């Protein structure tokens, strides 16, 4: 029903659901739940943290977190207490401080994210320039809007607000509001011309 290596440490009160795989030097702390179809290898899962059908390798998750479904933490991802890591979020070689939320469809690579920052749906930490990996640092209490790109190397201060669809490619001071997207053009009563062509 499940696979657990002899080297794994499971504290009292931890729950391992059917079809979970726990390998290597993993530690499951008191009250945590590793849900069905999860894979945990050489990782620490904190107290009362719930992992749902996710893959966690060589990483640490703090206490009172939720991970998944279908999240992927790897290569020394370090998630602080009280974080929410949602579906199809990948975290690689990054530190998330306490209270960070990344609920949907994001990539956080080679980054440090400050406490209580919200990472919106579709946010990408752009860490690779084709030759080298670079790091991004985001401060505390920031809001990163949906479909934004943070292009490393980059440092963002505390209490910043990034509007959805913005590409950030330079350092910004604390308290900054950032918006950078094309101006919306609306052509009224024109859609029928394109809809007709697409149906031919």
**Residues designated catalytic:** 104
Q: Which residues pair with 84 in a beta bridge?
A: 66, 101
Q: Burial letters for 75-107: b for 16+ Cβ neighbours within 10 Å, e otherwise?
A: eebbbbbbbbbbbbbbbbbbbbbbbbbbeebbb
Quick one: residue 7, left, alpha or beta (phi over 0 = left, psi -120 to 50 = alpha)? alpha
């Amino acid at each position: 029903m499940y696979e657990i290596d002899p080297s794994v440490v499971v504290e009292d009160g931890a729950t391992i659901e059917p079809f979970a795989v726990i390998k290597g030097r993993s530690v499951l702390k008191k009250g945590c739940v590793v849900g069905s179809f999860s894979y945990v290898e050489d990782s620490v899962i904190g107290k009362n943290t719930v992992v749902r059908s996710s893959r966690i390798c060589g990483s640490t998750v703090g206490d009172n977190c939720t991970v998944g479904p279908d999240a992927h933490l790897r290569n020394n991802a370090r998630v602080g207490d009280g974080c929410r890591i949602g579906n199809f979020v990948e975290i690689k070689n990054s530190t998330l401080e306490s209270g960070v939320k990344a609920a949907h469809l994001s990539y956080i690579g080679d980054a440090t994210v400050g406490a209580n920052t919200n990472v919106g749906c579709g946010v990408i930490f752009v860490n690779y320039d084709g030759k080298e990996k670079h790091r991004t640092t985001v401060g505390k209490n920031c809001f990163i809007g949906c479909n934004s790109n943070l292009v490393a190397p980059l440092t963002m201060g505390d209490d910043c607000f990034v509007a959805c669809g913005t590409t950030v490619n330079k350092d910004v001071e604390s308290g900054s509001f950032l918006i950078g997207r094309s101006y919306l053009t609306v052509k009224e009563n024109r859609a029928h011309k394109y809809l007709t062509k697409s149906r031919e």
